Structure 1
Amino acid sequence: MFGKATCFGTQIKLNPELEEKNNISQEILETIERYLKNAMDANELASFKIEMEKNAILQQQVEETKILISGVKRAAKKNKLDEFHKNLSKRNTLNEQDESIFKFNFRTLSIAASILILVGGFWFFNRTPQNEKLFNQYFEPDRGLATTMSATDKYNFEDAMVDYKNSKYDLAIKKWEVLLKNKQENDTLNYFLGSAQLANKNEIKAIPYFTKVIENKESIFLNEAYYYLGLANLKANKINEAILNFKQNNSPKSEKIISELRN
């Protein structure tokens, strides 16, 4: 990262390509490690602090190394985790002997970053939550109804259905919302508005529409509404509500989702 630094009274020049790629030389890294471990003698420590005061890039490298060692370095790349997993079969744990012979170099630095990320919880926060995985696994948009596009009072509804089937969910929603103003209790409009919102990744907006449908126990969409309401609640991380919805749907898919959620 910096062109040159003084370590043990020797001026070290870094390769410009390494500088550009934000790498640290082995010798400088070991010096920083001794500094962070309080392993320098008084003279070396005094010289190192003087060098840091006038070298902003060295200061930055010290901070980055400190962050890495403490396990909260956010800039670690995914391929470091991959490398860790490849080496995991050969080295499952770091015992005392490993620690005594552990030397910082570019390869072990990557493995260390991976271990720290894994232990520190970065993998947990970056992974896909179980409920989202289940949603992606089991969600398929409702296929919609057949359309004739005849010159009847159903034309506007069917026009929106064509948009829905062509995945133009925003357009279908706008058209159906106009129709819903005069037919608030219409289960068909509520069901497909919920379906369009859910397919459009608006699970929160989908929930009220499906809820309206299941209030009508005579609706022909009742069973499907319970299933999609369950998926909407699942995506919204409302697990208890989702399980209740899936129980009402009582299909094999719903039973599998409930089983996954309880494991």
Structure 2
Amino acid sequence: MDGSEKTGFFAPEHWFRKGQGPRYRQLHRYLAKAIRDGRLEEGTQLPPERELADLADVSRVTVRRAVAQLASDGMIDQRRGSGSFVRRGGPRLEQSLSTLISFTELMQARGMTPSSQVLGRGLFMPTPDETTVLGLSSGDQVARVERLRTTDGTPIALERSSLPVDILPDPDLVETSLYAILRSSGSAPNRAIQRVTAVNLTPREAKMLALPEATAVLQIDRTAYLASGRPIEFTRGVYRSDIYDFVTEVRLEGP
């Protein structure tokens, strides 16, 4: 990217829209999308803070906040004395295993555009795992929704969620956010137990996620509970390990 291209690339007419949120958030979204779609290639150095502020016609504080969010997203490396560089190996998404948050809410909080493709949904006879985890009785049905989750057009996860029918009587209502539907009915969980396992993609999963067959991915089994202790959601998801990092905080217990 030569000088003239750089000047035009960061110009506000390309990324700022009045009424679409704070400038730092809009700038962050624009740069993040440019990194994901390859317009800002791996190893590219971002202009220094002062220069970027001039090119984007914003304050240095705005630039600092946008760049800090890119670093938090794992999209750039900030090297003391050298500058900020587009991360080699691609951007990564970091999700806490200690926080109960939906995929939609997580992506929106990071300034990304989440979407879901419903692969299947309806009322079914439960599998043995669903019966055990959700405490179902013989003859009960389970509401099931399977979705391909994408962000800014990139497929990153497959999720299959199962719930008792009295909690989700109409699976057809679920499009993007399952938890939004549960909140509207007063049935949202307030805690969950999550188990992380390394698995290899099946041929079908690989096709959905645009990855080679048998690629290693992360499988997350989540059982979510109401405040009463009743389990009301069992979700099994596979997440691209080249994009996702799951983190948790541990503390040293006293004697």
- Short-chain TM bin: under 0.3
More strand by share: 2
More helix by share: 1
TM-score by length of 1: 0.24
TM-score by length of 2: 0.24
* Structure of higher CA gyration radius: 1
Higher relative contact order, chain-length normalized (CA < 8 Å, sep 6+): 2
